[in-house]
Amino acid sequence: MGRATRMKITRLDAPRCSGGENPLWDAEREVLHYIDNSGMKVHSFDPASGRARTLEMPAVITTLVLRAGGGAVVTLRTGIHFLDLDTGALELIHPLPDPPSHVYNDGKVDSRGRFLIGASTANFAEPGPDGGLFRLDPDLGLTRLDSGIHFSNSPCWSPDDRTFYFSDSWINTTYAYDYDIDTGAVSNRRVFVNTAELGGLPDGATVDSGGRVWAALYRAGKIAAFNPDGSVSRLIDVPVDLPSSVAFGGPGLDRLFITTIAHDLAAGGGDSGGDDLAGSLFVIDGLDARGRPEPRFAG
């Protein structure tokens, strides 16, 4: 009888970030893409070789997803762009107004190739529910799906595509919606979990092959796995206070990569408890959980 694999958390020798976010496993290149939002960079890290490549961005970057035809779609403070991952060239497809009424933050692609993008308030000094949820279709049409969100995070789907998860981090709440995979419409928003009792804000999230929602709990120094009924399945301590997002990756999609943030801007810009590991990239092995391949934008 084989022995159970022991869980292990490792700090990777990868570029550190002031605002690490958006880990995304690229199965074709066998690299992990992740962003430094306030550092205005896109990093691509090969865990096998330890090599990394960095692209400089001209503005704060908040989301990156891959395109079926190659390259990526990214959201910057200037709007939605196509990105050439080889050259760093950007093509603006949907600008934000100046000054913006909202900013984009966090997004994922559904199994039909649509890009759902969270929007957050642009008023960081006095946050209001000015954000919401948008859908970018493969024909590049942009549709608002929901409103009333302060700080958007955590977009992801159940394995059967029938439930969409999305958070308002400002009020510690992750919502579940009914999702129509044929039309890309959301409905029946309800509370999935409130993370206040766990001591942190729900940040970036992903869903494993069994339907559990894995979420970074910002300020709590924890990763939580929630069952489809919202109950806590796992609660894992990580070495820093500000984990920001999670993604399954590696050849078997059984390694959980974790981005972290060095400075807590919402708390006045102070560092994350003076931890010299803050901003590092981590991975958890031995979770006995497996992710699913992230779809690519079809446009």
Active site residues: 203
| Per-position DSSP letters for 77-109, written without gaps between them | TTEEEEE-TTT--EEEEEEPPSS-SEEEEEEEE
**HSE-up of residue 216 (Cα within 13 Å, Cβ side):** 32
Task: Give the closest residue to 11 by CA, choosing from 279, 286, 281, 287.
Answer: 281
| Residues contacting residue 42 through CB under 8 Å, at least 6 positions apart | 33, 34, 35, 36, 54, 55, 57, 61, 64, 72, 74, 83, 85, 88
| Per-position DSSP letters for 168-197, written without gaps between them | EGGGTEEEEEEEETTTTEEEEEEEEEE-GG
Within 10 A of 83 (CB to CB), how many other CB atoms are there?
23
Task: Give the closest residue to 289 by CA, choosing from 257, 260, 251, 248.
Answer: 248
Task: Quote the tokens at residue 41.
Answer: 């960079």
Burial 224-241 (b: 16+ CB within 10 A, else e): bbbebeeeebbebebbbb
The residue assigned the tokens 């009914």 is 178
Distance from chain centroid for Cα 143: 20
CA distance between the termini of the chain: 48
